[in-house]
């Protein structure tokens, strides 16, 4: 009996110096992806990925294309090895690589899109500084109550619903600080995140229309396989609607928990994180229940690829 496979594509925070290097050395067929990334971005993103420094790699405008390039290289190697997914999702910027997996975008257009996205978000973060914090141990209902109370005419939103008990908040400095204090009073843990902007908050609103307009010049196709989108936790087939969703994603929460539960309910039994690190695999292990008979893999190097091939053969 065949496996129902989901590909998951990581977002910012998964970067590390050396990512993608082993894969590029062993599979010369992915070299064009890294060359195209450097050409589109007009700077040596690949060198940053392979050699650092980490301080440069972590800058949003570098990090987003760097992670996307590594994920696309991993995807290319999986596909060449005969591994295809029936559904995919990406965490925040991971949606750009996920759209290639689903047949919505070409590799080149995904790299153009992510270059624009990273630049816009960097610009908006400089114009509208903000903070983010991870709230651990409180459920969504409790966090939404805190957000409503701590907002106090400021900007404060939920950025990521990662697991039932891990929710990231985002917004202006004072509302985030108030929310952190309130979360601790409710016996939750709240950890300020080292980020350069308040991602997925209203502070990014200035980039939405420009990002949507930019997508008018990029050919989007109807998906060949399902992709579950962050902002809706649903699949979408209409290319114009997908553009709207991708633009609004800048100011919408990443409904990761809902996406994972949907995939599990739809019978996915094999999850493959396609790209650097294993952040999404770690989140998934916190979401699956003992009743979920699933396998979780990470493909970021030749060893990870081997594990997946053994599992599905």
Residue at token pair 């204090």: 181
Active site includes 3? Answer: no
Closest among 32, 4, 23 to 77, alpha carbons compared: 23
Contact 275, 300 (CB under 8 A): yes
Q: Which of 71, 92, 98, 101 is catalytic?
A: 92
183-198: buried (b, 16+ CB within 10 Å) or exposed (e) per residue? Answer: beeeebebeeeebbbb
Contact 223, 103 (CB under 8 A): yes
Active site includes 200? Answer: yes
Q: Which of 71, 101, 200, 252 is catalytic?
A: 200
Helical residues (DSSP H) of the chain, grouped into ranges: 21-26, 31-41, 45-51, 54-57, 60-80, 94-101, 107-127, 140-151, 173-185, 208-215, 239-248, 256-265, 279-287, 302-312
Catalytic annotation, residues: 92, 200
């Amino acid at each position: 009996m065949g496996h129902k496979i989901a590909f998951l594509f990581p977002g910012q925070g998964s970067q590390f110096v050396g990512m993608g290097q082993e894969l590029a050395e062993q599979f010369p067929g992915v070299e064009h992806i890294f060359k195209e990334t450097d050409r589109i971005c007009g700077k040596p993103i690949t060198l940053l990925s392979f050699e650092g420094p980490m301080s440069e790699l972590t800058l949003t405008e570098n990090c987003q294309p760097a992670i996307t390039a590594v994920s696309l290289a991993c995807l290319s190697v999986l596909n060449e090895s005969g591994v295809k997914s029936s559904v995919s999702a990406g965490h925040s910027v991971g949606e750009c690589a996920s759209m290639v997996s689903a047949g919505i975008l070409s590799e080149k257009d995904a790299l153009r899109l992510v270059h624009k996205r990273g630049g816009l978000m960097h610009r908006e973060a400089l114009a509208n500084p903000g903070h983010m914090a991870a709230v651990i141990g409180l459920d969504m209902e409790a966090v939404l109550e805190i957000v409503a109370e701590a907002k106090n005419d400021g900007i404060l939103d939920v950025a990521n619903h990662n697991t039932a008990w891990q929710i990231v908040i985002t917004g202006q400095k004072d509302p985030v600080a108030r929310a952190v204090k309130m979360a601790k009073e409710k016996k939750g843990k709240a950890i300020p995140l080292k980020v350069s902007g308040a991602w997925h908050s209203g502070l990014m609103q200035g980039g939405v229309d420009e990002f949507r307009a930019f997508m008018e010049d990029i050919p989007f196709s109807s998906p060949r396989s399902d992709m579950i989108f962050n902002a809706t936790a649903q699949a979408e087939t209409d290319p114009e609607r997908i553009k709207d969703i991708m633009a609004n994603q800048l100011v919408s929460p990443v409904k990761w928990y809902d996406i994972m539960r949907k995939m599990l309910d739809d019978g996915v039994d094999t999850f493959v994180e396609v790209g650097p690190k294993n952040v999404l695999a770690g989140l998934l292990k916190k979401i699956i229940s003992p009743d979920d008979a699933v396998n979780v893999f990470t493909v970021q190097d030749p060893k990870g690829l081997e594990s997946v091939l053994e599992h599905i053969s």
